[in-house]
Amino acid sequence: MIAIVLGTRPEIIKMSPIIRECEARNLDYFILHSGQHYSYEMDRAFFEDLELPEPKYNLDVGSGTHAGQTAKIMAGVEDVLIKESPDIVLVQGDTNTVIAGVLAAAKLHIRVGHIEAGLRSFDRTMPEEINRVVADHVSDYLFAPTETARQYLLAEGIEENKICVTGNTIVDAVLQNQELSKKKADILDTLGLAPREYVLVTAHRQENVDSPENLWNIAAGLEAVHREYSLPVIFPMHPRTRKMVERFAIPLDGISVMSPVGFLEFLQLESNARLVLTDSGGVQEEACILGVPCITLRSNTERPETIEVGANILAGTGASEILAFARQMLAQPKSWQNPYGDGIAGRMIVTICRGLSRGRKTSIKSGTPGYGIQAQATKTS
């Protein structure tokens, strides 16, 4: 049995290929939702839009401090895992749900697979970085999205036979959901937008939105981009960001703020944008895959591949830097190659997990360098 533990919007998106693969193979699995994202817009709508089965369990933990939220999730996950006794627990990414799921499973001696393992910003002031590092060193099987991620894991002393380079499930999710998006959403018409004639923005990270200075500078940079290019700046605003904008009385001149949208609508907005500005790791990947230039509103990134291929650039939060890098990204050709694989990551991961649950060796072969690593398991009593 496979347990899929998730709790946030990005996890739902990136786990959707895993869930669909389990459904297609009629495997014994269940979904446990921590409730870390708990509003309709940030959670329930995603299951409905992506046509995914409802979670079997929902812990409804809601918000809280990092320690408080993690503790609630860990206790809830432990109860479910004791009841269900799965062969392997799958987590994805770097959230409090991930670290809680990994620790609960490991302490119950249940094998853990970490999807999107090996990402590093090398900035321990980010809570996500701490979650990534701990999850990787506790997990039994590390599904790295790229060879760079694999090298980071090896450099930290993690055994090679625990690591498999699979590509990133975000490629699967984008490819699978683009067609679904065309059938179910038409947000450009709704908003009166023309393809390649607007700028798309997301911002939600604590270091940006909880800082009056950073949030003010980001808004000023966006206003400068709007003024120079006369393009609408579309900002589906995270509830946390909206709260801080109101608390700090941040001016939003030239910025069109809207409520968060479902993934299918966001995918349409993203794929048709002239430029994306974000502090989200997942959006950096998606923009790269979709061929849309991206500016990251941070001083570091755990997605260096997007920068190496020329799809992304780090701007920090200074208003003048945001405008300067917008000029640079809009002027250069958009001819990079997607570094995140060919859209079969979900299939590879489920194949490995199926072998693990049967207690036998599993080997995934691919013609792409770095993909032929064995994941080994022995049956436990």
Catalytic residues: 204
Cβ 146 vs Cβ 359: under 8 Å? no
Q: What share of the chain is helix, strand, coil (3-state, %, to 5)?
A: 50, 15, 35
Q: What size, in residues, is the chain?
A: 381
- What is the chain's Cα-based Rg? 20
Q: How far apart are CA 33 and CA 35, in angstroms?
A: 6
Q: Which stretches of 258-303 are DSSP H helices?
A: 263-272, 281-290
Q: How far apart are CA 242 and CA 42, in angstroms?
A: 14
DSSP letter at 64? -
Cβ 223 vs Cβ 255: under 8 Å? yes
Tokens 């309709």, residue?
40
* Signed CA dihedral, 30, 35, 38, 43: sign only: negative
Cβ neighbour number for residue 380 with a 10 Å cutoff: 9
Q: How far apart are CA 301 and CA 309, in angstroms?
A: 14
Q: Which residue in 7, 6, 28 sits closest to 350, CA to CA? A: 28
Q: How far apart are CA 313 and CA 293, in angstroms?
A: 9
Q: Are strands 88-92 and 255-258 parallel, antiparallel or unpaired?
A: unpaired
Q: Which residues pair with 200 in a beta bridge?
A: 234, 276
What 3-state DSSP class applies to 376? coil
